Amino acid sequence: MVAPVRPAVFVGARLLDGRSPDAIPNGVLVTDANGRIVAAGPAAAVAVPKDAERIDASGLTILPGIIDCHVHLALRLEPVAEQVQRSATDLVVRALGAGREFLEAGVTTIRDAGYMPAGIKRAFASGAFPGPRTQVSCTPLSQTGGHGDGWTPSGAILETEVSDLPPGIADGVDAVRRATRLQIRAGADWIKVMATGGVLSAADSPDASQFTVDEIRAIVAEAKAAGIKGTFAHAEGTAGIKNALRAGITSIEHGDLIDDEGIDLMLERGVPLVPTFNINFALMDEDRVARGDVPPWAIEKMRYLFGKQQVNFRHAVERGVRVVMGTDSFSGMYPPAELAYMGEFGLGPFRAIQAATNHAAELLGLANEVGTLEAGKVADLIAVVGDPLSEPELWRDPARIVLVIQGGRFVADRRGA
């Protein structure tokens, strides 16, 4: 049952609009019956409609809904023995459940970074199931033996076959063109490219560059020709990051081992960095490791990358690279914690909020609809207890996000808890 849109007036709140670092104290925000923001500003400057529901938001900060540009709704950190038991139906059920989980945590818009069919996006958009506004990439493209190849030394393939997730393993320019076209045919808004090895894959190193510049350039050209949103690269190793940038990629994910030359390319081409600290901390979590959720090869690789990413991210920020929030979160993880990590490792509290709102909306091509608290925008809002500018740690506490509104619909209201 889809909740109705509730025109409302929020009074007494601190407003952080996603554009300015200066919060508006004692602010007023008005939403209408179409799920849009009518006005947002100081109480003295905003007319309060008499017939709208009045909500006292004293002690709360209202912000735009969180936008997470790198998630995996259909996946979960789990032992290999459980992964091989996962059917296509299990994947769909998990994605639908994770969509509700992310939405109620304050994530109102996402870009799924792989292994979720476009039908899930349509299910959320129709209102049949609660979930974020969603853009999908279907199956990531990987070379044979690359980060997206589910091969294991035993010969078992850790992949679930889903009819509307086309195969993504391809080698050579002609093959990657076809693989790209298959994803676009299946409904992909983005094409994800595995430009380097990774942590969770068994057969490669994060340092390894994967796909040639010519292969990635062909993928980028196909995406542009089709008019979809763009391309993004899983890119941890130094050489692979630069290959993706030289080929014209839209955004760099992770960027763990980026160097100054890579930063130069990002600045020159205006490419944002999507750092994904959340998954790194999950992979290093002692309880997850003890349960066997993290395979042994991943633990070793994550230890190698863990501190390096934090140092390199700080350096990229200092040099002016634009940052967009992405968490690499799976079902069972808590995406808003990424704002605390980004702030802690060099971005600061306000710029972390921008990365998760305004800048993320720009990357996804949604800046006219979401990402800021402005008249005419969709009423995607969250309310948190306290001030995230002076208490950035609140992003690690699920109890502090007490109100989540998507398109004017109240999807989570924990003010009385």
Residue 153's closest CA among 22, 296, 39? 296
Burial label for 154, CB within 10 Å (0-12, 13-18, 19+), is exposed
Burial label for 226, CB within 10 Å (0-12, 13-18, 19+), is middle
Q: Is 192 a catalytic residue?
A: yes
Greatest distance between any 2 Cα atoms in the chain: 68
Q: Under a CB-based contact definition with an 8 Å cutoff, are residues 29 and 52 in contact?
A: no
What is 35-56 written as a DSSP string?
SBEEEEEEGGGS---TTSEEEE
Q: Considering 112, 149, 293, 328, which one is annotated as catalytic?
A: 328
Which residues are CB-neighbours of 225 under 8 A, at least 6 positions away? none
Q: In this structure, what is the dihedral angle of CA atoms 254, 256, 260, 262, given to the nearest 10 degrees?
A: -40
Give the tokens for residue 303: 């230890």
Residue 58's closest CA among 107, 105, 15, 5? 15
What is 241-307 written as a DSSP string?
HHHHHHHT-SEEEE-TT--HHHHHHHHHHT--EE--HHHHHHHT-HHHHHHT-S-HHHHHHHHHHHH
Q: Under a CB-based contact definition with an 8 Å cutoff, are residues 48 and 91 in contact?
A: no
Q: Under a CB-based contact definition with an 8 Å cutoff, are residues 397 and 73 in contact?
A: no
d(CA 216, CA 195): 8
Q: Is the dihedral of CA 89, 95, 100, 101 positive or negative?
A: positive
Q: Under a CB-based contact definition with an 8 Å cutoff, are residues 205 and 151 in contact?
A: no
Q: Considering 121, 192, 229, 301, which one is annotated as catalytic?
A: 192
Q: Is the dihedral of CA 254, 309, 277, 206 positive or negative?
A: positive
Residue 320 burial (CB count, 10 A): 9
Q: Under a CB-based contact definition with an 8 Å cutoff, are residues 75 and 281 in contact?
A: no
The set of catalytic residues is 192, 328
